[in-house]
Chains A and B, each alone.
Chain A
Amino acid sequence: MTVAPLPANVPRTSGRTAPRLTPRQERLLLRTIGVVGFLVVWELAARLHLYNAILLSSPSAVIGAGFGIMTSGTVWRHLWASAVELAAGLVISTVVGVAIGVAAGWSRRVNYVLDPWLTILNATPIVALVPLLIFLLGIDFAAKVFLIVLFSVFPIALNTLVGVEGTANRYLGVARTYRASNARILRTVVMPGTLPFILAGLHIAVGRALVGLVVAELVAGNEGIGYLLSLYGVTLQTPKLMFLVFVLGLTGLALSAAVGRVERRLERWRPVRR
Chain B
Amino acid sequence: MIAQPKLAIAGLQMEFLRRRTSSSMVVIENLDLDIRDHEFVTIVGPSGCGKSTLLNIVNGLLSPTSGTILIDGAPAAARRSRLGVVFQDASLFPWFTVERNVGYGLECLGTPRSEIRARVAPLLEMVGLSAFGSHFPHELSGGMQQRANLARALAIDPEILLMDEPFAALDAQTREIMQSELLSIWTRTHKTVLFITHQISEAIYLSDRVIVMSARPGRILADLHIPFDRPRALSIKRDPEFTAAEEHIWELLEAQVRSALETNVARGG
Contact = CB atoms under 8 A, between A and B. Distances in A.
Q: Which of A181, A268, A269, A271 has the most B CB atoms < 10 Å from its CB?
A: A269
Interface in B49-100: 59-61, 80-81, 83, 85, 87, 90-91, 93-96
Interface string B90-116: 110111100000001101110000000
A180 to B, nearest CB: 5
7 contacts: A173-B91, A174-B87, A174-B104, A176-B60, A178-B109, A179-B109, A192-B96
Pairs of residues from A and B, 10 with the lowest C-beta to C-beta distance, nearest first: A192-B95, A178-B108, A178-B105, A269-B136, A180-B108, A269-B95, A177-B85, A179-B81, A174-B91, A271-B138
B120 interface: no
A16 interface: no
B156 interface: yes
Contacts of A193: 95
Contacts of B138: 269-271
Contacts of B83: 177
A171 B136 contact: no
Contacts of A176: 60-61
A268 B93 contact: no
Q: Which of A170, A176, A177, A271 has the most B CB atoms < 10 Å from its CB?
A: A177
A188 to B, nearest CB: 7
Interface residues of B, number: 23
Given A177-B59, A180-B108, A268-B136, A170 B87 contact: yes
Interface in B158-212: none
A77 interface: no
Contacts of B95: 192-193, 269-270
Given A178-B104, A178-B109, 14 more contacts: A170-B87, A170-B91, A171-B91, A171-B93, A174-B91, A175-B104, A177-B83, A178-B81, A178-B105, A178-B108, A184-B108, A188-B96, A189-B93, A192-B95
Nearest to B139: A271
Interface in A31-70: none
Interface of B: 59-61, 80-81, 83, 85, 87, 90-91, 93-96, 104-105, 107-109, 136-138, 156
Contacts of A174: 85, 87, 91, 93, 104
Interface string A81-105: 0000000000000000000000000
A175 B91 CA distance: 10
A177 B87 CA distance: 10
- Judged by DSSP, the binding face of A is helix
Contacts of B104: 174-175, 178, 188
Contacts of B107: 184, 188
A264 to B, nearest CB: 15
A99 B225 CA distance: 56
A188 B136 CA distance: 15
Nearest to B136: A269
B156 to A, nearest CB: 7
Given A184-B108, A268-B136, A173 B93 contact: no
Contacts of B136: 268-269
A179 B93 contact: no
A66 B44 CA distance: 77
A249 B81 CA distance: 55
A181 to B, nearest CB: 8
B108 A179 contact: yes
Interface in A104-127: none
B83 to A, nearest CB: 7
A188 B103 CA distance: 12
A180 B85 CA distance: 14
A174 B152 CA distance: 10
Contacts of B90: 170
A193 B96 CA distance: 11
A155 B130 CA distance: 43
A272 to B, nearest CB: 11
A183 B52 CA distance: 27
Interface string A189-203: 100110000000000
A178 B83 CA distance: 8
B108 A269 contact: no
Interface string A248-269: 0000000000000000000011
Nearest to B97: A269
Contacts of B93: 171, 174, 188-189, 192
